[in-house]
Amino acid sequence: MKQSFKATVKEKLILAAKSYSNLLKKRIVVSSPQFEISPSYIVRFYETNFLHLTGVQTHLRPLDFYDKCLNETISEEEFDCESTTKIKGLVRLKMRHLDRIDELFKQDLLVQENFEKGKIKCMIAASDGSCTIGFVDAKYCVRPKTILDKNHLNKNKPICVVTPIIETIE
């Protein structure tokens, strides 16, 4: 018997949290002489940004949600991913890529400054061609704001090919 959409999302949330956890103690530097605003950006991932990237809705605090996903204790009653067609579609698209987010930075990426897509405005966005992650300013670094299915970089604005430098931090 085929499992429910929500059960599938729960499994993917757990996998995504594990993938995301591989980025928490990392500093990822993206730089290019072709960048116009800053010569480089430091990308950091925080536990509290995970929830927003998933697209699901919950009454849990972002850190509690992440911890429950990582520890495999999240229950289907603790999140909503299908109350509306819009939420269900959004979650479906985000889940295509979130469970491999740590792999994204192990390759050359397309990076664009001042990324805009509809209401989304980000300092930079990175794409591997199959998904786009947008980042916003977090004082000394940029943090993830959104993950989108497919490449959404604006072809009419400069796009740089960047080899990310991944550094482990304590």
50/149 Cα distance (integer angstroms): 16
Q: Residue 154: what pLDDT?
A: 96
How many domains does the chain contain in total? 1
**Residue 20, domain extent:** 5-168
pLDDT at 42 over 90: yes
44 and 138 Cβ atoms separated by less than 8 Å: yes
Cα distance between residue 22 and residue 168, in whole Å = 10
Helix (H, G, I), strand (E, B) or coil at 113: strand
Q: How do residues 128-157 score in pLDDT, each as one tens digit?
A: 999 999 999 988 999 999 999 999 999 999
Helix 85-98 / helix 5-21 crossing angle, nearest 10 deg:
40
* Residues ≥6 apart with Cβ < 8 Å to 106: 164, 166
Average pLDDT rounded to a whole number, residues 47-51: 97
Please, which pLDDT band fits residue 67 given cuts at 50, 70 and 90?
very high
Mean pLDDT of the chain: 96
Q: According to the model, what pLDDT value does residue 97 have?
A: 95
Concatenating the DSSP letter of every residue in 132-153 gives EEEEEE-SSSEEEEEEEES---
User: Residue 67 to residues 16, 20, 31, 137, 145: CA-CA distances in angstroms?
Assistant: 12, 11, 32, 24, 19
